[in-house]
Structure 1
């Protein structure tokens, strides 16, 4: 499998060649009618840690925020100097006005394709690092979206000591909008992996990434995948060889559920079981499913997004004519 290694070192060269080609039209860059002007953005923790706001006043305003925490513990947490310190550092990393504008743009793009989408009220909060592995929570029925700002303090932040570095790569303020978009996309595409083949799984994630394209037409592809620029370049440079590996090893239509762990689940790298593994980009199955869906839209650009999401993986794959070349 040394073909992977060769392309790794030639990625810069290939990128240079690609930059000389004429850019293809981005079909997702469209003018949005009636855009969302402003998002209702509330920093719950700002009030939670404010000693001038009585606890009773706070709990009446946000009765769902306390959860199952006893009143005594809840009151003590408001005065915890370490929690306050973490919150203040986390909120200092975020440009609130930019976040508001970016959320408004995101919600506008979603409403453009799904007119019944109601933009949620957005709440920022600090979990004091307890919820950083799943920092975005969406409740469509209540039209509420929660963002744990302590999950976006920047990779290598001292507060993340002990956390795997591959998780930290997407824990920067610039990752907030792509991760919010990803969570919202999941609302429109329901998974059903029971007895499914690998192609079904990667095309499901390809649909999610296609929604990322539609919802974030001006965002970088690397951020949409929660990749570093280097990880994205590796994936692009090796796209054909990755697909050849899947085909030659009869993985495309396999129902081996372990393939999800190797090529879809969060990890420091993908698992080809070759010497290239440590240098590979993670979640390469998601990347491949995305490219299949992108190729489908090159072939069928007139397809409405809502119709595309209803198609099964086999239809999308067959009509995409996906055959990447070196």
Structure 2
């Protein structure tokens, strides 16, 4: 799945780069949302005693009760000992230094997330904006989200220069880098709004993933597709150029109504590639196709709101009404 060099460069510019003049409409920019991260990892790793760790827990009850799940510990002392062990562990201290260096300034990330929640409240005025906290989890958890609290496990997102990295394959590890932090957060947020039906076939999984990606696209309109999908620029160019061939594979092989979960995961789940379509076809291609179907559906039906889309559980209805039929490129 390779494409001509001249066309490739054009596609890189179109799909792989952030729009140069991306401005948020004033009616959205003016929505009052303010996000400022609490750098809790810095505070914890400054602790020199168990008493200071205990004071840290008392100071941050929301974080302690929600993220650390205080109730799971037999006693307060057990939780204090656990955190003190983290704060004084040499490898984690080194990791904390790398986090400080990589994330010395969160202003850009805070602004991007702030704008995402402004868009969210534009579409869902009653939506709650959680407090943002950062932490080092020792590769325990990358993200945490509930109505009140959002936690970024920054040690996951240091990037390729990190001494310690999450224990994931390379094709997944690629997405654990700073530029993917906000897009990954918004994709996680989408799960709180994405209604799904009882069907568990290929099409329903594709559309469910497509709705999540479209949700992220609407909340992050200035973010390139490559960061939302987690594909390289080369992969993005390839899949757009080969869209007709990819869709043809699903149709000709009768895959849309496949119910075998193992086969569904081959196309929608995490894989380095999908050799059933082509050696260079990236994993999660079914999610990408679902995104294109949802995009076409929304283009065909401009009266449909984002909340209405996310509440729609009939995947077949979305496919039929989208009139999705990609044409051969080149």
Fold match, TM over 0.5?
yes
Is 2:158 the partner of 1:160?
A: no
User: What corresponds to 1:139 in structure 2?
Assistant: 146
User: What corresponds to 1:25 in structure 2?
Assistant: none
Q: 2:185 aligns with which of 180, 184, 196?
A: 180
Q: Displacement, 1:13? A: 2.2
Contact kept in structure 2, 1:197 and 1:255, CA below 8 Å: yes
Question: Which stretches in structure 1 are left out of the alignment for 5+ residues?
Answer: 21-27
State how far apart, in whole Å, the 1-side matches of 2:83 and 2:129 are. Answer: 30
State how far apart, in whole Å, the 1-side matches of 2:245 and 2:5 are. Answer: 13
Q: Displacement, 1:145? A: 0.6
State how far apart, in whole Å, the 1-side matches of 2:168 and 2:12 are. Answer: 36
Contact kept in structure 1, 2:268 and 2:286, CA below 8 Å: yes
- TM-score normalized by the length of structure 1: 0.86
State how far apart, in whole Å, the 2-side matches of 1:15 and 1:41 are. Answer: 37
- Number of equivalences: 306
Is 2:276 the partner of 1:280?
A: no
- TM-score normalized by the length of structure 2: 0.85
Contact kept in structure 2, 1:199 and 1:252, CA below 8 Å: yes
Higher relative contact order (Cα pairs below 8 Å, separated by 6+ residues): 2
Contact kept in structure 2, 1:41 and 1:123, CA below 8 Å: yes
User: What corresponds to 2:124 in structure 1?
Assistant: 114
Distance 1:11 1:249, change over 3 A: farther
User: What corresponds to 2:37 in structure 1?
Assistant: 41
Contact kept in structure 2, 1:203 and 1:293, CA below 8 Å: yes
State how far apart, in whole Å, the 1-side matches of 2:9 and 2:201 are. Answer: 33
Distance 1:302 1:30, change over 3 A: farther
Contact kept in structure 2, 1:91 and 1:149, CA below 8 Å: no
Q: Displacement, 1:158? A: 3.3
Distance 1:160 1:17, change over 3 A: closer
Question: Which stretches in structure 2 are left out of the alignment for 5+ residues?
Answer: 15-22
Distance 1:158 1:292, change over 3 A: same
Distance 1:29 1:49, change over 3 A: closer
Q: 2:226 aligns with which of 222, 229, 233?
A: 222
Look up the SS of the partner of 2:184 in the other structure.
helix
Contact kept in structure 2, 1:263 and 1:283, CA below 8 Å: yes
Look up the SS of the partner of 1:9 in the other structure.
coil
State how far apart, in whole Å, the 1-side matches of 2:201 and 2:273 are. Answer: 22
Aligned Cα root-mean-square deviation (Å): 2.6
Q: 1:269 aligns with which of 268, 273, 287?
A: 273
Q: Displacement, 1:17? A: 7.8
Q: 1:171 aligns with which of 151, 171, 176?
A: 176
Distance 1:111 1:57, change over 3 A: same
